[in-house]
Every structure is written in structure tokens, then in C-alpha cells.
Amino acid sequence: MKGCLLIHGFTGSPATVASMKEVIAAGGFRVSAPCLPGHDGGFDELSRVTWEDWYEEVRKAYKALRKETELVYCAGISLGALLCMKLALDEGWGVRAMVLMATSLSLSRVATIGLNCVRYTPLRWFVHAFPKNLNKNIADPEGRVVYGELSQPMMPARAVYELADLQRELKPNLSRITNPVLLIHGQGDLIAPPSNVDFIRKSIASDVVETIILPRSRHVITMDYEKDRVALATLDFFKKFA
């Protein structure tokens, strides 16, 4: 039996990757899709957690899969992709292959400037949340509505700072990643620009790095127009390394 660790994105939930879970499970994998700490509660709960808390939950799920399966694969979207990378840094080829979706290693220039203007100025005492634009997240109107129901409506400022700290933790260490990687990104991603793909390709040391750019999708590609393609491509990539 092979195992797949499937990690949802920032302010999301396991339900936002449910379509992928079904396809991968049908392909013969035991799939674990944990809920990251703070994401199953409200605004205040998400404000209190750290990126280390998120990662510890991923580690627990990984260790459980290692006990139950012969090989473990990892797929994550946005924040989930960052946590996959952190796991690969710590476990090496204990992660057989990774699919990194809408990897938010760097945010858009506007978002980065706005974040720094708040975090490193007195504004941090007044701004406690950042708005969430569902139109930027998903192009498909139907997927947008469902995503709004399955994810948190606001982004706590403290949680966004934790995401930024995880980005800083990863960037200097990318050259240590050698696992096979598939990068899937929406061409219209306004949250984590497609330039993330080229940066990751140039920074990691993997011999196998494949890419798929989705012409009709934005950020939450597991719920956008091409979600079926994302799920099948993930399954096919993992099977190459079985």
C-alpha cells in the first residue's frame, strides 16, 4: 500500500482538496488529509497558531502514514505546498515524490508591500486582519461559491505573518530538496504569481522537476475549472515513482 499526504491551503480546509482525495484514493493510495491547526475554528483560533503548529500536524500525519504504508507521497496547495517542502527538507527521500500546487513561496508584489507596511510599522496595532478576495482565488463562479463556504472569510494578520515566516524559513534551504517534484500552477494566479514556478525550478536540486501551467485557473486550483486535470496529473506523477 502507498500513502499520500494531502495538505490544504491557508484559511482552507480538507474539504477544499476533497476532489483530489477521491481520485488519488481510487488510484490505490491511502490518503491522509489533515486539518491544519486553527483552520477548524474561527478567526481567533487561527490567530493563535504558529507555522510550527501547522508543521507539527503534518509531521504527525506523515509518521502515521509511514507506519501504515510502504511509500509516502506528498501533495499540497499554497501553504500546504510550503509544508510539503519543509517535510521533504526534514525527511529527504522519505517523501517519495511531491506535487506542489499554487506554491506560495512568494506572494504578489502588492500583497508583499502591503504586508510589510502593516507588520513593520505602527499599523500592526490597528490592522488585525486582511480581506479575502474570492475572485482572486478562483475563476470558476461555482467553485468560488463553494470555496467561500468551505474556507474562512478573513485572514488574521498574525496568521499571515506566520506564513511569511515559513517562507523565510524555506528559501535559503531549497537547494537541499532532491525529491521528484511536479509543479502545478494557475496562469491567472493573482495570490502567488506563476513566477514562483521558475524560482523553485532554479532553486531546488531535484533531477526530476515537471511543470503544468493551467490556462484557465487562478490560485485555488483544486476547486477551479481544471481541478480534474490537477487530480489526475497528481495521481499519474506519483505512479511514475511507485
Angle between helices 18-26 and 227-239 (to 10 degrees): 40
Span 2-239: which CATH code?
Answer: 3.40.50.1820
- For range 14-41, the mean pLDDT: 96
The string over 174-207, giving b where at least 16 C-beta atoms fall within 10 Å of a residue's C-beta and e elsewhere, is beebebbbbbbbbebbbbbbbebbeebeeebebe
Contacting residues for 65 by C-beta, under 8 A, at least 6 apart: 3, 4, 5, 30, 32, 72
Question: pLDDT at position 96, please?
Answer: 98
CA distance 218 to 81: 16
pLDDT reported for residue 49: 97
pLDDT in tens, 168-217: 999 999 999 999 999 999 999 999 999 999 999 999 999 999 999 999 99
Nearest to 159 by CA among 188, 130, 197, 132: 130
pLDDT tens profile 57-81: 999 999 999 999 999 999 999 999 9
Burial letters 28-42, b for 16+ CB under 10 A, else e: ebbbbbbbbbbbeee
Give the count of beta carbons closer than 10 Å to the beta carbon of residue 2: 20
Q: How far is CA 147 from the centre of its chain?
A: 15
pLDDT of 110 higher than 90: no
Kindly list the domain boundaries of the chain, sorted by start residue: 2-239
Count of residues in the chain = 242
Burial class (CB in 10 A: 0-12, 13-18, 19+), 101: buried
Grid coordinates belonging to 179 = 525529491
Q: What is the percent of the chain with per-residue pLDDT over 90, rounded to a whole number?
A: 95
Condensed to tens digits (0 to 9), the pLDDT of residues 39-55 reads 998 889 999 999 999 99
Q: Which of 53, 56, 62 is nearest to 33 (CA)?
A: 62
Contact predicate 57/34, CB 8 Å: yes
Q: How far apart are CA 220 and CA 198, in angstroms?
A: 19
